[in-house]
Structure 1
Amino acid sequence: IDSTPTTTQMQDTGMPDDNVQLLGDEGLRAGGQGPMKLGFVAGVILRERLPGFERMLWRTCHGNVFLKQAPIEMPLEDPHTGDNVYKSVFIIFFQGEQLQSKVKKICEGFRATLYPCPERVSDRREMINGVASRIDDLQTVLSQTTEHRHRVLVAAAMNLRNWLIKVRKIKAIYCILNICNLDVTHKCLIAECWVPALDYERTKGAIERGSLRSGSSVPAIINTMPTKETPPTFNRTNKVTSGFQNIVNSYGVACYREINPAPFTIITFPFLFAIMFGDAGHGLLMALFAGWMVLKERNLQMAKNPNEIWLMFFNGRYMILLMGLFSIYTGLMYNDVFSKSVNLFGSSWSAPKLKPGEMYNRTNVMLRPDLNYVGSPYIFGLDPVWQLSQNKILFLNSYKMKLSVILGVAQMFFGVVISYFNHRYFARQLNVICEFIPQVIFILSIFGYMNLLILVKWFKYDYGSAPCAPSILINLINMFLYKYVDEKDTSQACYLHS
């Protein structure tokens, strides 16, 4: 903004530019003109509103005001929004009541904050001294408050663990008291609970010791009560078996005194996973990760990580460890290490021998068991020659799937057999006839028959008769659809293929 007119007017009055005593009695005496008097207002405004603010002052007051502004480097907190904003401080000089009212209205329109400032130099100095003294007092109060808060927090940190223990004990006591029933006549609390038979004496001793340590004049009495209610199921677990028990409970909780299938799943669940996973390299990574969690479990428990995914992995660390170890075994059986075969003992297959002067002119070479097989099988796992074959994926996937089906059906049949022992223990003959026997017939007629077809297909058909081997999946579908394949068409197809 061009402030030349205002500056010229000020020079015509005989007042110097750099004279700080523009206001007050001293300024009037220096100028020599008694009636002339300048007014001013001071305040702060948002930095982004300052250009429009200057333009509005110049146009409204016709250049008869003088504006001086300076940016505030430190950001200030907005009392309404709480955000940090940048502002500028300004001072506006003017003459007359009309300009004063215009300037204040413009400041109000641009939401500038005006601060009172006395006209006399001595009053301004007193205000500055007062503000400085108040700032010093506030800094002293803030420093003392910070030091006091630090001392209080340090003292509280020393007792924090004891307070947590006390709060947990009090919470546990009130939780137990809320479960108890109040006997108004005897003025005592009565609690009914189920206790495992093996822990009855230990529970009784703990209650007696608790009553002695509490200093109560009335001893605690524990008695067994006859009841016809069915006790709840209690399966004693530890850090190893808790994960497997949770998996079993997710499908269903066994009734009281029924056989708990969780101990069997400690082996069957990770082994079935390894049968379908079957990679020694990835299994080794799983075993190393789970072994690290097992070795560092104390430190990891104290860390108390609230992440749900991490807690899922950490609580199943022993399960992951077994899955990794079994995957290493099955991966070596499949000769699969990071999807690559390892030739440790030498292949049992040899390439076809060529006649003198003959060279391979074909991209595919057929290896026949009767001609190219050495006779002694590979020592451990699958022969690495399958890594070079074109039907590698078809053969390995079929082999892994069929092996998984056989073991999975065996586990299902084992679960059905366990149910028979539960029925016999509870003397439920009707369940044996109407539940166990139909389940055995159903599973053996479908899945047992399917396993039998897999074994027959493995033992009956060799490389020569492999094209004539029936499809197990198609046979099952045809069995349910009552659709039968004509034997003449099958034999003719095998003949044409051969």
Structure 2
Amino acid sequence: MGALFRSEELCLVQIFLQSGSAYNCVSELGELGVVEFRDLNPHVNSFQRKFVNEVRRCEEMEKTFSDPVPSAPQPRDLLAIEEESERLATELKQVCVHSELALVNTICGNCRRKAQQVIFVYSWIFCGPSFFVAGVVHPWKVPAFERLLWRACRGYFIIEFQEMEKNPNVLETSDMTQWTVFLISFWGKTIGQKVKKICDCFHANTFFYPENTEERQELQKGLQSRIEDITQVLFQTESYLQQLLCRCVSILPQWKVCVMKCKAVHSILNMCSASVTDKCLIAEAWCPVRKLLLLQSALTEGTRRSGSIVDSFYNRLPLSSSSSPPTLFTTNSFTAVFQSLVDAYGVAKYGEVNPAAYTIVTFPFLFAVMFGDVGHGLLMVIAALWMILQNKDNKNTHFKNEMWRTVLAGRYLILSMGLFSVYTGAIYNHCFSRTLSIFPSSWHLRPMNWSDDTLRGSRFLCLDPNTTGVFRGPYPLGIDPIWHLASNHLTFLNSYKMKMSIIIGVLHMTFGICISYFNYSHSQQWFHVLLVLIPELLFMLGLFGYLVFLIIYKWLAFGPGQSDRAPSILLHFINMVLFTDNKETPPLYPGQVTHLQSVLMVVVLTSVPVLLLGRPIYLYYHHTRHQNMYLLNSLEHHSIRKQLEFDAVEVFMHQAIHTMEYCLGCISNTASYLRLWALSLAHAQLSDVLWMMVMRTSLSSRGMLGSVVLAGFFSFFALLTVSILLVMEGLSASLHTLRLHWVEFQSKFYSGTGYKFSPFSFTSITNPL
């Protein structure tokens, strides 16, 4: 809890990295994730840094990460990865080219074999010397091609077209191309020359056919054998291609991670500055004090891996007043979600008190005040326990839905809110809007001695607590169940919850003001304790602390028997603020108006000018007192002369704004806590309406039909309970609780102007989830 109360102690270190071992040292630091590097070249363009070429090479090869995760590669290994990937890409392209060529040759061979069959038929029909030309042409050229042949050869030819069964890819564009096979039979060499010229004009691919029948048959046999060889080559090519792709799939994820790590290391090296002799790199980084030994061990291991003779080392630099270290809180799976709620408002400044240590209790409690119901709380607990079991082995990293991962991350928050809701529901005596009679009621009817006629003839009867035996003391736990049968139960519950909201709000804000003491003491600003903290505390307690005292005192001093003559707290509080004494309003205790309330108002009015003028006057006096001493040093040091500058008007305006904001905020923030009462009332009434409109109607049915009706109505009741009362009402109560913590509570002591400690870690680079 100590690490969660305040940020871990960090120190600024200056690391000297030898040129030969700088890469390995940074790589070891990336594996450990213990330091956050500072950019020592903020004004240097990213394209002008020393290792920009290495970063560019990595960016060209960088891909998304995949398991397994290897260690960071050596620079020479990166060159080997680059050469091997280029070789595999070239080889894969060649295999694809050869495969397409083989497919084209197979198709062409089939076309030639069919052409031989057609030639044999034509030769048998005409029984004379004929010549043949075969080839392929694009389908959209076929009509013009046929028309031109007919006009040029005057009809002394026979042509036949046939679509290809398979369309090969174009090797340059990898697009599917359609082809049409043609076979032309003609007589005479003169016509043959015209046919060949026309084929050349249309860029048709023609094939040679012998004129002798025996040669054609031998050619057909050769083509058949060639087709079989090409088919075998295609099969072997596909097998080799599959093996090559399997090899790429197995080794590519490791290369991706290696490239990501290499790029990250060179990016860190670009943040370093070179020494005067250019023999080493100088880096500055923030490191937790308790991890300095790990830092030294990483530098030693990096030097050993690189084989360097000179060791890399670090020096711890002193923190200046202008330096702002990052903030580091050590959290676990339970406290991480509460820390995230606080960081969403703003990260704590270094050394500032962390509100998350108290939010672990106050957040679910304030939520439960608005959501108090035993049944609904148990449903939340069951849902949270199921999510905890689902996430037992960190299974949430495998879920692709970001919303589901977010809900799983808040499983312990939901569990704590459910448990607190069960507690507050027991106090309210609410379980699905019904009461739980765990103990006998403290109110009894028999001592009233009502007759049967009175009982039968009266719709409402009033129990008199002054009658002996009617009221026998407070209920053991929570609210007596008999109040839910009373006609004035809403009046009673509203009064109770309204006063409870005021008490909780004042205690919550006062606790926040008291926490600011630890911030002032940590920074040694003791004048803030006297001139800021104490006036703020007196103003809060003098007004609203006294209001809480009046509420509690009235509860203790006036029981059920004295409820008829109990004075109004509201009138007393208004008279106190207006400095009036109303004789018609009886005092709560002797000396209330003349002594205590008058003193409290004087203290409250005195604290406002002290809060307004105390800090500016002290700072001005402190500045004037040390001006002469600083002036002597400022003649020699320009930096000290800058520290001497003091704008009294700006300090006064800032304090005036803070004073007005605080005084008005105390009033508005106290009223803001009334949302605890309003949302609690809304949740209870909505639950009651849902029960009355759905479940009570179904419970009035009888017989077999009643069972069916009850099952259907209960399903509808369960659906509305989960969707409206749990999801919508729960989300609304969570947002209101978040507002109470961010504005009403944290504004009293928390600035949230820091920034997170983000160490250089390969884990966060390769696995951003």
TM score, norm. by length of structure 2: 0.43
- The corresponding residue for 1:303 is 398
Q: 1:143 to 1:436 in 2, by over 3 A?
A: farther
In the aligned structure 1, how far is the partner of 2:444 from the partner of 2:241? 83
Task: Tell whether 2:553 aligns with 1:461.
Answer: no
Shift of 1:237: 2.2
Task: Tell whether 2:301 aligns with 1:209.
Answer: yes
Within the candidate set 195, 198, 221, 2:313 is matched to 221
In the aligned structure 1, how far is the partner of 2:466 from the partner of 2:238? 91
Q: 1:204 to 1:489 in 2, by over 3 A?
A: closer
- The corresponding residue for 2:258 is 166
Within the candidate set 345, 352, 369, 1:275 is matched to 369
Within the candidate set 483, 505, 517, 1:420 is matched to 517
- The corresponding residue for 2:477 is 380
Superposition map of 1:468-487 within 5 A: 469=566, 472=569, 482=578, 484=580, 486-487=582-583
In the aligned structure 1, how far is the partner of 2:380 from the partner of 2:161? 73
- The corresponding residue for 2:530 is 433
- The corresponding residue for 2:670 is none
In the aligned structure 1, how far is the partner of 2:309 from the partner of 2:515? 52
- The corresponding residue for 1:362 is 458
In the aligned structure 2, how far is the partner of 1:449 from the partner of 1:420? 22
* 1:179–1:191 contact (8 Å) kept in structure 2: yes
Q: 1:158 to 1:475 in 2, by over 3 A?
A: farther
Q: 1:489 to 1:444 in 2, by over 3 A?
A: closer
Within the candidate set 116, 124, 139, 2:143 is matched to 116
SS at match of 1:487: coil
In the aligned structure 1, how far is the partner of 2:486 from the partner of 2:507? 32
Give deviations 1:179-209, integer Å, cap 9, x for gaps.
Answer: 3223352332211112111111122213322
SS at match of 1:194: strand
- The corresponding residue for 1:102 is none
- The corresponding residue for 1:260 is 354
SS at match of 1:396: helix
Shift of 1:438: 1.0
* 2:429–2:481 contact (8 Å) kept in structure 1: yes
Segments of 5+ residues of structure 1 without an aligned counterpart are 1-43, 45-112, 492-498
- The corresponding residue for 1:132 is 165
Task: Tell whether 2:544 aligns with 1:447.
Answer: yes
Q: 1:192 to 1:466 in 2, by over 3 A?
A: same
In the aligned structure 1, how far is the partner of 2:454 from the partner of 2:143? 111
Pick the structure with greater CA Rg: 1
In the aligned structure 2, how far is the partner of 1:124 from the partner of 1:332? 101
Superposition map of 1:15-414 within 5 A: 116=143, 118=146, 126-129=160-163, 131-132=164-165, 134=167, 154-159=246-251, 161-183=253-275, 185-216=277-308, 218-228=310-320, 229-297=323-391, 298-305=393-400, 307=402, 309-351=403-445, 352-355=448-451, 358-371=454-467, 373=470, 375=472, 377-414=474-511
Shift of 1:478: 6.3
In the aligned structure 1, how far is the partner of 2:412 from the partner of 2:541? 34
SS at match of 2:456: coil
Identity of aligned residues (%): 40
Deviates more, 1:293-302 or 1:321-330: 293-302
Shift of 1:285: 2.1
Q: 1:388 to 1:216 in 2, by over 3 A?
A: farther
Give the AA of the match of 2:465: P
Q: 1:444 to 1:357 in 2, by over 3 A?
A: closer
* 2:466–2:561 contact (8 Å) kept in structure 1: no
TM score, norm. by length of structure 1: 0.64
In the aligned structure 2, how far is the partner of 1:122 from the partner of 1:128? 21
Shift of 1:277: 2.2
Q: 1:183 to 1:483 in 2, by over 3 A?
A: same
Give the AA of the match of 2:459: T
In the aligned structure 1, how far is the partner of 2:573 from the partner of 2:347? 34
Shift of 1:440: 0.7
Q: 1:339 to 1:218 in 2, by over 3 A?
A: farther
* 2:327–2:350 contact (8 Å) kept in structure 1: yes
In the aligned structure 1, how far is the partner of 2:476 from the partner of 2:560? 22
Q: 1:408 to 1:488 in 2, by over 3 A?
A: closer
In the aligned structure 2, how far is the partner of 1:136 from the partner of 1:260? 66
The size of the alignment, in residue pairs, is 377
In the aligned structure 2, how far is the partner of 1:289 from the partner of 1:171? 43
Q: 1:370 to 1:158 in 2, by over 3 A?
A: farther
* 2:396–2:405 contact (8 Å) kept in structure 1: no
Segments of 5+ residues of structure 2 without an aligned counterpart are 1-138, 171-175, 178-230, 588-769
Q: 1:465 to 1:321 in 2, by over 3 A?
A: same
Q: 1:135 to 1:251 in 2, by over 3 A?
A: closer
Deviates more, 1:443-452 or 1:260-269: 260-269
Shift of 1:156: 4.3
Instruction: Tell me which of the two structures has the higher relative contact order, counting C-alpha pairs closer than 8 angstroms and 6 or more residues apart.
Output: 2
Q: 1:255 to 1:359 in 2, by over 3 A?
A: closer
* 1:276–1:400 contact (8 Å) kept in structure 2: no
In the aligned structure 2, how far is the partner of 1:201 from the partner of 1:438? 46
Q: 1:178 to 1:341 in 2, by over 3 A?
A: farther
SS at match of 1:191: strand
Q: 1:212 to 1:434 in 2, by over 3 A?
A: same
In the aligned structure 2, how far is the partner of 1:426 from the partner of 1:444? 26
Q: 1:485 to 1:210 in 2, by over 3 A?
A: same
Give deviations 1:90-122, integer Å, cap 9, x for gaps.
Answer: xxxxxxxxxxxxxxxxxxxxxxx9973747899
SS at match of 1:354: coil
Give the AA of the match of 1:128: Q
Give deviations 1:209-260, integer Å, cap 9, x for gaps.
Answer: 2333354555321221234235333322222222222333444544433433
CA RMSD of the aligned region, Å? 4.0
* 1:180–1:191 contact (8 Å) kept in structure 2: yes
